[in-house]
A = this chain, B = another copy of it.
Amino acid sequence: MATRTAAQMREQAKVEYDAYLAACPSRQLLDRISDKWVGLVLSALAGGPLRYGELGRIIAGVSPKMLTQTLRGLERDGLVERRVTPTVPVRVDYELTELGRSLLPVMRAIKSWAEQHMDLVNAARAEYDAAPATA
């Protein structure tokens, strides 16, 4: 066995780096908000509490599974609150918490940059895609 191979050392470094990445707050946040449905749910909830079914209708393309999964994730992170009213047919409302609302400005910043610059990005893409040869 003798010396550890370069591959082994690299492997080791990689594992550590992955662990480091997983612990990075920015990455954690990006992982959360980059989820396909999170942004939609957040902005839907920005206007006030909504029931499960209402969210499903507003968001339209979401399956019950993904909606629940998204909601659970957000609840777990303390960004939304799940409030159950035990009436005859149960009624469940979801609402942004204080923490969840504090995230809205960030979402707005993202939206703002996107609206101001995405046309440039799209132009760059078009140009890039249209360049088959010659500088």
Residues of A whose CB lies within 8 Å of any CB of B are 13-14, 17-18, 21, 25-31, 33-34, 36, 39, 60-61, 75-79, 99, 102-103, 106-107, 109-111, 113-115, 117-118, 120-121, 123-125, 127-129
Chain B residues whose CB sits within 8 angstroms of the CB of A117 once the complex forms:
99, 102-103
Docked complex Cα distance between A102 and B10 (Å): 34
Chain B residues whose CB sits within 8 angstroms of the CB of A31 once the complex forms:
34
SS of A interface (majority)? helix
What is the count of identical protomers in the complex?
2
Docked complex Cα distance between A103 and B34 (Å): 16
Known: A76-B129, A109-B109. 9 other contacts (CB 8 A): A21-B61, A26-B107, A26-B115, A29-B110, A29-B114, A78-B121, A78-B128, A99-B124, A103-B113
